[in-house]
Structure 1
């Protein structure tokens, strides 16, 4: 699931094959934008934004809160009882898998250790984990599961089409897949340009739109495809983006390493939530929910 400078090595959209054209960013730089579905690609060899040194640029307490909210949102999106078996694409520290494990599910996952953080010991001992790409899992053999999901992972992978194809093979018939990923059609791209916080991650190589994400899932064979815009995900994105815009400075650990930025993000949360309620495209994340047919 390693990232690469994909935008520089292709002229057509990786999702719908339409032509890519440059999209200039406020503050300098450009992304490659599909003229049909709006999908965005980024060349990491000529990044349009200052970025931190590592993929992980969060804050542990905020991450726990965000993961808890995401866990609840995913459970609400699964019809019927809670899933009895799950597979996570890009499990990171294993925090989300631990939630499912504590809920009684069997757990499995794949992760190439991009975040370089420790994995929950209980997840390591009780889960079926692969330390390579998700494509390796099928070669090693895997039991079908009720739910396959990935949280902010599709923007990193080498080939999102292949990742969704593997997810299709991993989930049982009538099982569910869910993926959360930054919204390339959110207002943040236009408002903050190269200072948009989602560009701070040095391994983000693409940004889906609602259209391109739905197309990708449908083309992979999934049905009942829905793309939502979560209200509560990434509440500090606007504050972090604003700081990057108006207080530019090298930040090897990322802008959210600053307590003052986190405090500003939390203080502005009521205004951010109000804006997101009125204008859904202010929400910086897409949530794909789809089902494998019988």
Structure 2
């Protein structure tokens, strides 16, 4: 182990010697004493994080040693996609009231705004994923399946699914083939609401997975029969997002670039002057769709979701026979 440490130290010294040579030959040669101090400091930090021989031996865990009493098939990791901190107790209470599940859900804190949800029934987990996206005080709750092999630090969690409406498409383009093409613009296509396409005719409704690190897509150009058609998008149940950068995480008044736009205050900025705005939010689905969905679920009971922006999203339970 000592020999390996010495080799590591030697490699660092050689690397920094090259840097020092460049410094000595430049006008910054007066910084030479400081450079030697920096080298020793970096080497000390590097060696500090090297494990000893005893530490390197480690512990090997066999698969049969892991308890099978609980499987992670019933578990989701959840992250509040926001820069703000929230009261953990308030969040847990509010989200459970919103989900209104009959069976208990255990919520475990992992780190700031990061949680583990353990469901009693897998069907409850599937329902929660299917009924998303979910929000807490307009902050998006990103949910992701876990296998149990992840460390909390591995859970980057920057993908989520949304229902998106695409307007101004020619009627003959309201098909699943076109839906897949358009859906891949957002990141990845999940599904198309076929019933709504036949009933509405004014927009195409698709479910897509988007990368939350990227700005929201506002629209696209569809080239069809030698014509370029500009089609715009609207998102259902869209949480807080920035009107300057178009990213889901913070609102305009919390944006670092806000002061550069206007030092006088938020009220003096017109939404039309910004690249993004409330017009990206979709209004509730037409009543004709709501009525049909109620008829489709007549064999069960429905309870309203308090987090839903769209009235078209409701929780339905089928009566067990």
Q: Counting strand residues as a fraction of each chain, which structure ranks higher?
A: 2
Structures share fold, TM-score greater than 0.5: no
Q: Higher relative contact order at CA 8 Å, sep ≥6: structure 1 or structure 2? A: 1
TM-score (norm 2): 0.25
Give the alignment's TM-score, normalised by structure 1: 0.27
